[in-house]
């Protein structure tokens, strides 16, 4: 029996990953940059055993169906390529979220699974190699191997596409991200399908690719200068650009709900009142608010005038993914 357990934290992109140049290897069209957060994480135990006759997957202690298990199996196949004698596995994942937020994250999930496999099989992979492996499961997962600010270098092949931490002289410790949970039901268009449709059909997609590099340069300047204003402005503009591409896809779609628009307006009104904060959004209607750690209580207080307290979750910067000792 070969068993390993690992914990990985979710990350939110400030410069988004949106579109692949290689679907099989999950190579992105542009570099992305994220902040790893402490409030959401996944603990995963993987056990490979000679006795097992198939892969089995438990999520939050519930045995998963064939479809969900097949996804995990496809990832395990990549790991089995590294084994002399391939074995089936049982995977047990627990998603830790502060409330029943339905914020299950593929980023923390696949990052924890990749690291747990490394532990179980004593593969001795470096963090860069674990990041590359996690990338094959879900692109954004490669960033969750590291804490703080993280850049995913798009690369040109499997070897050169991985994430690395960005040295920021502890600027990341001055930040917080407040989640406004607007809808926890299953998303209509997955990030995987949404980005593919956009790459294939959106007339705005070339503009996204052409400007992603500039946004990355700007955000790295903001980090180097510890300029919160610059950081927030680039984050917000980049998210809006990403979401603009989906409206020009065929068929068109959007992740925004009326409540998302309301939340964005609330963020702007906080700004007008001198409480500096900026929004970002991913492949769903929830709005995430980037703010200074020192302002978070005031911002939460204002947001809970507009939304219920259960809808608001505050996260600070999170650490590297790490293994957890099991007996
Ligand atoms: C909008 O990593 O979920 O959150 O690689 O197909 O699994 P796959 O996609 P995924 O996409 C995340 C997209 C995003 C932006 C981001 O996290 O950079």
Determine the Cα–Cα distance for residues 103 and 138; give it in Å rounded to an integer. 16
Maximum distance among all Cα pairs of the chain, rounded to whole angstroms: 63
User: Do 264 and 231 share a domain, yes or no?
Assistant: yes
- Which pLDDT belongs to residue 188? 82
Closest ligand 1 atom to Cα of 138 = 7
pLDDT digits (tens, 9 = 90+) for 185-227: 655 899 999 999 999 999 999 999 999 999 999 999 999 999 9
Query: What number is the ipTM of this complex?
Result: 0.99
Q: Do the domain assignments include residue 68?
A: yes
**Residue among 17, 19, 34 to mutate when testing ligand 1 (max atoms within 8 A of CB):** 17
- Which pLDDT belongs to residue 120? 97
The β-bridge partners of 278 are: 290
Query: Domain holding 89: CATH number?
Result: 3.30.230.10
Residue with tokens 């402005």: 233
- Which pLDDT belongs to residue 97? 78
Q: How confident is the model at residue 98 (pLDDT cuts 50, 70, 90)?
A: low
pLDDT digits (tens, 9 = 90+) for 36-72: 999 999 999 999 999 999 999 999 999 999 999 999 9
User: Do 26 and 83 share a domain, yes or no?
Assistant: yes
Structure token digits, residue 78? 């990549």
- Answer yes or no: is the C-beta of 42 below 6 A from any ligand 1 atom: no
Choice among 181-190, 253-262, 274-283, 289-298 with the minimum mean pLDDT: 181-190
Determine the Cα–Cα distance for residues 144 and 142; give it in Å rounded to an integer. 6
Tell which of 132, 147, 169 closes a domain: 169
When divided into structural domains, the chain yields a total of 2
- Answer yes or no: is the C-beta of 19 below 6 A from any ligand 1 atom: no
- Answer yes or no: is the C-beta of 139 below 6 A from any ligand 1 atom: yes
Which residue lies with its CA nearest to atom 14 of ligand 1? 282
- Answer yes or no: is the C-beta of 283 below 6 A from any ligand 1 atom: yes
CA proximity to 112, closest of 41, 32, 209, 11: 41
Q: Do the domain assignments include residue 322?
A: no
Q: How confident is the model at residue 300 (pLDDT cuts 50, 70, 90)?
A: very high
- Which pLDDT belongs to residue 176? 98
Q: What is the residue range of 160's domain?
A: 2-169
Q: How confident is the model at residue 104 (pLDDT cuts 50, 70, 90)?
A: low
Closest ligand 1 atom to Cα of 15 = 18
pTM above 0.95, yes or no: yes
Question: What average pLDDT does this structure show over 114-135?
Answer: 98
Give distance in angstroms: CA of 208 to centre of ligand 1.
15
- Burial tier of 276 (Cβ tally within 10 Å: 0-12, 13-18, 19+): middle
HEC string for 138-191: CHHHHHHHCCCEEEEECCCCCCCCEEEECCCCCHHHHEEEEEECCCCCCCCCCH
Give distance in angstroms: CA of 10 to centre of ligand 1.
12
- Which pLDDT belongs to residue 71? 95
């Amino acid at each position: 029996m070969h068993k390993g357990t690992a914990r990985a934290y979710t990350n939110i992109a400030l410069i988004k990953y949106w579109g692949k140049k290689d679907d099989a290897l999950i190579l992105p069209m542009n570099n992305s940059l994220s902040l790893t957060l402490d409030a959401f994480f996944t603990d995963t135990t993987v056990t490979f055993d000679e006795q097992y006759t198939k892969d089995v997957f438990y999520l939050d202690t519930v045995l998963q169906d064939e479809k969900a298990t097949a996804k995990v199996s496809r990832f395990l196949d990549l790991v089995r390529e590294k084994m002399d004698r391939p074995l089936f596995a049982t995977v047990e994942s627990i998603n830790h979220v502060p409330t029943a937020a339905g914020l299950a994250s593929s980023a923390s999930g696949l990052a924890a699974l990749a690291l747990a496999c490394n532990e179980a099989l004593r593969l001795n992979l470096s963090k860069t190699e674990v990041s590359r492996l996690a990338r094959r499961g879900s692109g954004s997962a490669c960033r969750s191997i590291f804490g703080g600010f993280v850049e995913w270098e798009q690369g040109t092949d499997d070897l050169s596409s991985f994430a690395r931490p960005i040295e920021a002289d502890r600027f990341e410790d001055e930040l917080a991200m407040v989640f406004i949970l607007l809808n926890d039901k299953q998303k209509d268009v997955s990030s995987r399908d949404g980005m593919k449709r956009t790459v294939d059909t959106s007339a705005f997609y070339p503009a996204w690719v052409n400007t992603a590099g500039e946004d990355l340069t700007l955000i790295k300047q903001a980090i180097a200068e510890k300029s919160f204003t610059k950081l927030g402005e680039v984050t917000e503009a980049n998210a809006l650009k990403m979401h603009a591409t989906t409206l020009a896809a065929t068929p068109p779609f959007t992740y925004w709900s009326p409540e998302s628009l309301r939340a964005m307006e609330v963020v702007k009104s906080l700004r007008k009142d001198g409480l500096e904060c900026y929004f970002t959004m991913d492949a769903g209607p929830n709005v995430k608010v980037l703010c200074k750690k020192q302002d978070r209580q005031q911002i939460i207080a204002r947001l809970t005038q507009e939304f219920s307290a259960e809808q608001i979750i505050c996260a600070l910067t999170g650490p590297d993914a790490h293994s957890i000792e099991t007996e």
